[in-house]
Amino acid sequence: MPTALQMAADDAALEAAVKRSRKLLNKRALVAAAASSVPVPGLDWAVDAAMLSKLIPEINREFGLGPAQLDKLDPKKRDQVQKAVAMVGSVLIGKFISRDLVIKAATKIGVRLTTKQLAKYVPFAGQIVSAAVGYAAIRYFGEEHMKDCIRVARQAELEVPRLSYGG
C-alpha cells in the first residue's frame, strides 16, 4: 500500500501539502505519545481526541479542503469536491471537526488504542509500549487522512494551495 507521499509523487503541489502535513502530524504524534505514557486512565484518549480535532482541519487546509476554502469555490467545483468526498467516504474532509466526530472516525484505529490502554499499566516497559502505540496510531490516522485528501483533490481536480497556512 503506497504512502501519501508516494501517492502524491507526480504532483508538486500535492507532494508539498503532504510534506507540510507530515510536519504537523509528527509534532502532534509526539505529544500524543507523551500523553500515552502517563498512567492516568482516559488522559491519552482525551489528548488524542484534542490533537486530532486540531490536526485534521490543519491537514484539510493544506490540501485546500477546509470548510472556508471550499466555501470560496465556485458552485460547480464545490459540487465536484463533495462528490469526490462521498466517493472516498471520508467524514473528516470539508467539515468543521468536533471531538465527537474525531472519536467516531477513530474507530479505524480502535484496536491500537485499546492495546495502548492495557499496556500502560505494566510498569516502565508498558509505558514505553503505550507511547509507541499512541505515536503509531496517530501517525496511521493522519497518514490515512492525507491519502483521502489526495484522492479527493485528484478526483475533484482541485488546485492545492502551495503555501502553508501555519501550524
The confidence band for 116, taking pLDDT boundaries of 50, 70 and 90, is: low
Distance of CA 70 to the CA centre of its chain: 18
The confidence band for 32, taking pLDDT boundaries of 50, 70 and 90, is: confident
| pTM of this prediction exceeds 0.85 | no
**What pLDDT was estimated at residue 114?**
52
55 is written with which cell numbers?
490536526
- Among all chains, which residue has been given the C-alpha cell 501550524? 167
Mean pLDDT value across residues 72-88 = 91
User: What is the C-alpha to C-alpha distance for residues 138 and 109, in angstroms, rounded to an integer?
Assistant: 9
| Cα-based torsion angle of the residue sequence 76, 17, 34, 136 in order, rounded to the nearest 10 degrees | 80
Whole-angstrom distance between the N-terminal and C-terminal Cα of the chain?
A: 28
Mean pLDDT value across residues 61-81 = 93
Distance of CA 32 to the CA centre of its chain: 13
Cβ atoms within 10 Å of 2's Cβ, excluding its own: 10
